[in-house]
Structures are given as structure tokens and as C-alpha cells.
Copies of this chain bind each other. A is one copy, B any other.
Amino acid sequence: MISLTEENYLKALIYLSFLAPGVEEKKDVGTNELASYLKLKSSTVNEMLKRLKEKNLINHEKYKKITLTPSGEQNGLKIVRKHRLWETFLFTKLDFDWIEIHEVAEQLEHIKSEKLVGKIDKLLGYPNFDPHGDPIPDKHGKIPQRITKNLSAVDIGKNCIVLAVSDTSKDFLNYLEDLGISIKTEIGLIDKIAYDRSIKIKIKDKQYSISKKVADNLLVNEKFN
């Protein structure tokens, strides 16, 4: 039996070691890094590491970095899968807002029922990506791959679809909401201003100007049409 708390540690380790945006190859994780991500003290994390090691979910030697065992990774990916499936359910079937889904999914991800996960997956039509555009691991833990680029890398005159965001802070999500940008929003790239590297875009025939910082945090798929 893996406790709710242990599940959250595994999910965090998955995230920090290879699922976080910008992490290309798997990287080892430090105690303090994990503690600060979970908003806990490193002594607390240190105790839990002993328990996770005991349960053969992580590898960890005193004063060394942490890696997930195959079992730890599988179990962690199951939580990620449930989290993202629930987010998709809340968004597409219950009309929750983009911003609200995470907090509720944080609870729902811990419901223990293989059958329930399978039924929700089926109900949603076996989606590959959640409403934030993040890939949903399949039941074996396989993560669907995506070809995305930053909006700032899109060529002038091209249209693209928002697939994901690389910043999920409330500030950023609220700003996007104001602009009317969410997953699957179509954006046309009108112009790139050399002076401040800001970008002129078009959403449903309305034009907006966004900063390079914003454009860098929007991951898109260029449209071929």
C-alpha cells in the first residue's frame, strides 16, 4: 500500500526528474530540491526518503541524489495519469474552468480504483493530452510525445494551435484567460517587433501584442493549412 503522501512524493520525483518543462534527459533529484518543490522541510523529506527506499520505490544513499526505481516510476506515472485524466474529465464533461481543475484533480488522483480510471479514460475517448496540453501516460506508463515549439519561434504569417504552457502559475493562466488564450486556441502570428522582441498576434481576427516572455511560455503546433 502506497499512502497518499507517498504518492505525492513519487509524483514530485517524476516531475522533477523528467516531466518538468525543460528537462530533456532524466536527472537525479536532491533532497532540498524535492523539499522546496513540496513546500516541506528537508528533514521531513529525509525521513520519507527512508520509507520510500524501504518500500523499494527509490534508490538513495546517504548524502547522494535520489532516483526512482522502476516500481517507483510506474507508481508515480499512475498518479500523473490519474491527475491528468481527472483534469480532462472536469474540463470537458463538467465545464470546470481551466484554472480550477488542478486543485480538485490533486484530490481525485488518489482515488484507488483501476476500474474507475479505465472507465473515465474510455468516457473521455482515450485522450493523449490534458486541458493544459500535457501528455497523459497510458495505462502502461507510456508518455505520448508531441512536436511543439515556442510561439516566439513561429514564422510570421503562420497560424498555430496552443498545445501547452510552460508556466502554470495562476498569474500567467489568468493573463491568458484575459487574452482569451487556452488550449486549442488558434493564434496567427502577424509580426515580430525587433525593437523589444514583442510579438503581434491575431486571435479570432482581433489583434494583440504580447511580450517575448509570454510567447516563450506558449507551446504551439504550427498549422499546415
Chain A residues with CB under 8 Å of chain B are 90, 93-96, 100, 103-104, 107-108, 111-113, 115-116, 119-120, 123
Contacts and interface: CB of A to CB of B under 8 A. Distances in A.
A13 B108 CA distance: 26
Question: How many copies of this chain?
Answer: 2
B113 A104 contact: yes
Contacts of A119: 94-96
Contacts of A90: 116
Q: 10 closest pairs, A vs B, by CB?
A: A94-B119, A104-B113, A107-B111, A104-B116, A108-B111, A107-B112, A94-B123, A104-B111, A95-B119, A100-B115
Contact of A123 (B93, B100, B104): B93
A112 B104 CA distance: 8
A94 B120 contact: yes
A115 B105 CA distance: 13
